[in-house]
């Protein structure tokens, strides 16, 4: 029943508006983007003072929000009622409140565009969501799996006409993590500072995002995969000297993911670049990093490294840690991995 964010955005940009939008899920990027696109287009700027209403869920209940939706626009074709944080509407889980929404969605005022931004899980089998889908649009904004982020960045840049290098993609994803709004913000910041025709590469990320192209987690995992003792130790010492900018927890998560993929590389039956890229969920450009690591570390050694990463995580959380700080844990881990 739910439409994809992309299909809904395409309709909105073509000014094909629906009377009800129920936007839900744990990925805020598309929920906010769809609402902002509607805010740009539904009501002309000169009419916003009379025909656009922004309501916050914590300040009202469903009856109050629907009260705005049931009004007619003032000397205009339509009005916009944008309910932010709809998951905080008073009594939103109560049957009576949801019945109000269902009744309205089954017979909405066509001159109103009601947008409910519900930043939480929802069950599409519920009758109120089915009613919203019947008269309007239901969009499930799912948080992406980490291994899908590079592809998402690539597709986003392609859609915007932005050239981005594989290394720049990986630097953004590895250092920012699963935060689409921030990733987009950083890409836009870089593009604004580029000259016409320039693409987003590692140098641009270093200059305008502030991620070092030498001392970052992506380069760290690459150095470990290559068994480059000097480079891996230099980066580990840099991280240890700058713990606020390089917290240990996300580093361990990224290394765990990397060596898990190295283990999969060992076990793969299809060792072609295409086959491994598909299995590992990575850009074919980076397959060589995993095949090299698999050559440098036996399957047994990789299993031990994964064990060491788990143990380092436990120590970071206080198990058998003694007086060792995160920086020392990381340096010790590099020794355990490489030797």
Cα separation, 81 vs 252, in Å, equals 44
Same structural domain, 17 and 124 = yes
Per-residue tens of pLDDT for the chain, all 339 residues: 689 999 999 999 999 999 999 999 999 999 999 999 999 999 999 999 999 999 999 999 999 999 999 999 999 899 999 999 999 999 888 889 899 999 999 999 999 999 999 999 999 899 999 999 999 999 999 999 888 898 999 999 999 999 999 999 999 998 888 999 999 999 999 999 988 888 999 999 999 998 888 899 999 999 999 999 999 999 999 999 999 888 999 999 999 999 999 999 999 999 999 999 999 988 888 999 999 999 999 999 999 999 999 999 999 988 876 677 889 999 999 999 999
Structural domain including 287 reads: 217-338
Helix (H) or strand (E) holding 21: strand 20-24
Q: What is the CATH number of the domain that holds 158?
A: 1.10.8.60
The answer to whether residues 175 and 236 belong to one domain is no
Residues 314 and 262 in one domain: yes
- Domain harbouring 260, CATH code: 1.20.272.10
* Same domain, residue pair 53 and 125: yes
What's the confidence (pLDDT) of residue 181? 94
- Let me know whether 161 and 86 are in one domain: no
Instruction: Let me know whether 238 and 280 are in one domain.
Output: yes
The sheet that has 112-118: what strands, in order across it? 52-56, 79-84, 112-118, 20-24, 137-140
Residues 334 and 230 in one domain: yes
CA distances, 163 to each of 62, 170, 177 (Å)? 45, 14, 21
pLDDT of residue 322: 65
Tell how far CA 221 is from the center of its chain: 21
Q: Which of 140, 155, 181 is the last residue of a domain?
A: 140
* Closest to 297 (Cα-Cα) out of 309, 311, 314: 309
Q: Looking up tokens 């490294």, which residue turns up?
A: 305
Phi, psi torsion values for 117, nearest 5 degrees: -95, 100
Do residues 153 and 81 share a domain?
Answer: no
Residues 158, 228, single domain; the answer is no
Domain shared by 45 and 123, yes or no:
yes
Q: Do 36 and 143 form a contact (C-beta atoms < 8 A)? A: no
* Packing angle, helices 248-267 and 326-338, rounded to 10: 20
Closest CA to 252 of 193, 311, 179: 311
Residues 230 and 184 in one domain: no
Chosen domain end from 140, 158, 192 = 140
Same domain, 288 and 198: no
**Domain final residue pick, 177, 208, 239:** 208
Residue 199, pLDDT score: 92
pLDDT at 226: 96
Q: How many domains does the structure of the chain reveal? A: 3
């Amino acid at each position: 029943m739910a439409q994809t964010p992309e299909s809904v955005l395409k309709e909105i940009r073509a000014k094909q508006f629906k009377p009800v939008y129920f936007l839900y899920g744990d990925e805020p990027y598309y929920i906010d983007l769809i609402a902002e696109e509607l805010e740009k287009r539904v009501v002309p700027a000169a009419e916003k003072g009379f025909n656009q209403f922004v309501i916050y869920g914590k300040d009202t209940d469903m009856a109050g929000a629907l009260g705005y939706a049931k009004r007619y626009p003032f000397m205009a074709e339509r009005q916009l009622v944008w309910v932010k944080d709809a998951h905080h509407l008073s009594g939103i889980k109560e049957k009576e409140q949801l019945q109000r929404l269902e009744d309205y969605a089954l017979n909405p005022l066509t001159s109103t565009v009601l947008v409910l931004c519900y930043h939480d899980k929802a069950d599409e089998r519920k009758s109120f969501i089915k009613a919203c889908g019947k008269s309007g649009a239901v969009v499930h904004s799912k948080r992406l799996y980490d291994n899908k982020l590079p592809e998402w960045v690539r597709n986003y840049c392609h859609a915007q006409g932005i050239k981005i290098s594989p290394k720049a993609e990986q630097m953004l994803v590895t250092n920012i993590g699963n935060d689409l709004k921030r990733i987009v913000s950083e890409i836009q910041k870089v593009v604004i500072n580029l000259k016409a025709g320039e693409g987003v590469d590692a140098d641009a990320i270093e200059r305008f995002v502030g991620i070092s192209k030498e001392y970052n987690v992506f380069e760290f995992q690459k150095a470990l995969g290559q068994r480059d003792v000097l480079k891996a130790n230099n980066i580990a010492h840099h991280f240890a000297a700058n713990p606020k900018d390089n917290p240990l927890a996300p580093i361990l998560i990224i290394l765990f993911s990397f060596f898990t993929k190295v283990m999969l590389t060992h076990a793969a039956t299809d060792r072609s670049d295409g086959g491994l890229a598909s299995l590992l969920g990575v850009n074919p450009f980076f397959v060589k990093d995993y095949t090299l690591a698999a050559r440098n570390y036996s399957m047994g050694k990789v299993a031990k490294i994964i064990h060491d990463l788990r143990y380092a995580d436990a120590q970071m959380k206080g198990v058998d840690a003694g007086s060792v700080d995160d920086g020392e844990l990381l340096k010790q881990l590099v020794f355990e991995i490489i030797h």
